[in-house]
Amino acid sequence: MRMNPSSTVIMKCSKEVGVHNLVFQRLYICLGALKKGWKEGCRRILGLDGCFIKGFHTGQLLIAIGVDPNNQMYPVAYALVESECKDTRCWFLKLLGADLELNNSYGIVWITNKQKGLIDAIGELFPNSKHRFYVKHFYNNFKLEHKGLLLKQILWGAAKSTTK
């Protein structure tokens, strides 16, 4: 916090019943420099994804990625949560929305996988934004019915197209 003063770091803990110790639940981090960079220079696009954390300490790592002026990935914020459910997604998205000042959410495009809970959470918290899906996830379903290199190339060509 001393080196990056406008950073947001929030840790949520709970007390175990009958024990005086706190138990870690969630951690959210949005570094001030990344927050400022997204607001001042990135496109109004945010990709959301998550992955499992395996090992002794399990959970989910949630991340928000922006797109910089060179069309490169730009990390914005991340969270370590106990599980990927509506409660943790909403918690992450509310904190992210406050950090990036997405008050009316106009002009924001969210890119996610097709998880129903995530679609609902974004629609509820950011009703004026647009929501799109990762082509990679779409392609994994597409290739089950439509096999072949040509159809793959056509699909990816359409996804990259900037005109109708």
| Digit-coded pLDDT (tens) for 41-86 | 999 999 998 889 988 888 999 999 999 999 899 999 999 998 878 8
Q: Measured between alpha carbons, how far is 7 from 9 in angstroms, rounded to an integer?
A: 6
Tell me, rounded to whole angstroms, the distance of Cα 68 from its chain centroid.
Answer: 16
- pLDDT (tens digit per residue) in 133-154: 888 877 887 788 888 888 888 8
Distances (CA, A) of 126 to 45, 57, 59, 61, 76: 13, 32, 26, 22, 17
Q: Measured between alpha carbons, how far is 132 from 17 in angstroms, rounded to an integer?
A: 42
What pTM, to 2 d.p., does this model score? 0.84
Length of the chain: 164
Q: What percent of the chain has pLDDT over 90?
A: 43
- pLDDT (tens digit per residue) in 86-96: 888 899 999 99
Q: Which of the four pLDDT bands, split at 50, 70 and 90, describes residue 19?
A: low
Backbone phi, psi, residue 163, to 5°:
-130, 165
